[in-house]
A and B are shown apart, each in its own frame.
Chain A
């Protein structure tokens, strides 16, 4: 129980952060034509920022199922890596069904906090996940219900919040590491090329993001293979 409460407390700042970002996700979903309950379902059962954002864009066009699958698998590939990484830190009793249930809560921020612990117990991880999940789900609910009440000015301005969060995740590491900066710049330029060059105009948007990300990460891995030290600094 003590471990659960410890996790719960550690999750509060993440929960507050998620509340504001998912609020804008709710607004964006409504503006794309989704119902409030659809937005809330997506948040409650997906718990991703980038993945959901790409998903609602794809869903506005019918029959892009393969696009959806590929975009989710590539955008969320980082979770697979985080999951593998966290298997090295979990306590002995964190096994079997507990991994299948709690693995759902793997997000960038929950992973970041969990992996800063010496050992991660199931109770701590569950506690850590509660506030972020509540924040993400209820923030989406609030955003999708209040988005239509708020003046357009606020709604438009809040739409940039999610990108602010992305910047806050990638910029500080890019400042410390030239290879990370290079990968970020290549991914951004490549995505622009895929979006704006006429020869690529048939490529669906979800796939374009994945292609840009995979190619730039491959380039990074080929040119700047990481050392043990870099991995530890992450």
Chain B
């Protein structure tokens, strides 16, 4: 990866500035309702787009990915914590991979 450094600098600078600029410069609350709403929905929209469709092929196999997704969904619906859901989804995928290996 020849241009790692350029990519790295863009990545670090953009991530750093988007956090610190508003933090350092903002002194007043946002009043615009549309902007507030847009900013409210952005985290959910980003994570949903990150997850779908990538999650369907996350493990390299559709079957284990789907089982992992199903397990993750079930525990996320129950309100389990981030770590628990992440590890249980992996466990679901692992068991599926194991079973498929034995078949």
Contacts and interface: CB of A to CB of B under 8 A. Distances in A.
B19 A103 contact: yes
A72 B11 contact: yes
B43 A108 contact: yes
Contacts of B43: 78, 81, 108, 169-170
B89 A154 contact: no
A16 B82 CA distance: 10
Nearest to B84: A168
A146 interface: no
Given A65-B6, A160-B72, A226-B40, A84 B22 contact: yes
A217 B45 contact: yes
Interface string A88-118: 1000000010011001101011000000000
Contact of B90 (A60, A158, A185, A217): A158
Interface in B52-100: 52-55, 58-61, 64-65, 68-69, 72-73, 75-77, 79-91, 93-94, 97-98
Chain B interface main SS type:
helix
Nearest to A57: B54
Given A20-B83, A103-B23, A222 B34 contact: yes
A230 B87 CA distance: 30
**Which of the listed residues B30, B41, B53 has the most CB atoms from chain A within 10 Å of its own CB?**
B41
B103 interface: no
Contact of B24 (A59, A68, A79, A100): A100
Given A191-B53, A225-B33, A103 B24 contact: yes
Given A75-B46, A78-B46, A83-B20, A230 B51 contact: no
B10 A69 contact: yes
A5 interface: no
Interface size classification for chain B: 35 or more
Given A16-B83, A33-B1, A65-B6, A153 B94 contact: yes
Contact of B52 (A156, A192, A221): A192
Contacts of B10: 65, 68-69, 72
Interface of A: 13, 16-17, 20-21, 24, 33-34, 38, 41-42, 45-48, 50-55, 58-60, 62-63, 65, 68-69, 72-81, 83-84, 86-88, 96, 99-100, 103-104, 106, 108-109, 153-154, 156-175, 179-180, 183-192, 195-196, 208-209, 212-214, 216-218, 220-222, 224-226, 230-231, 234
In the complex, the 8 A-B pairs of residues with the closest C-beta atoms, listed nearest first: A164-B89, A103-B20, A188-B52, A171-B76, A221-B37, A157-B94, A103-B23, A83-B23
17 contacts: A13-B83, A20-B86, A38-B1, A45-B16, A65-B7, A80-B39, A87-B26, A103-B23, A104-B20, A159-B59, A160-B69, A165-B85, A167-B69, A168-B80, A168-B85, A187-B52, A225-B33
Interface of B: 1-4, 6-8, 10-12, 14-16, 18-24, 26-27, 29-30, 33-55, 58-61, 64-65, 68-69, 72-73, 75-77, 79-91, 93-94, 97-98, 101
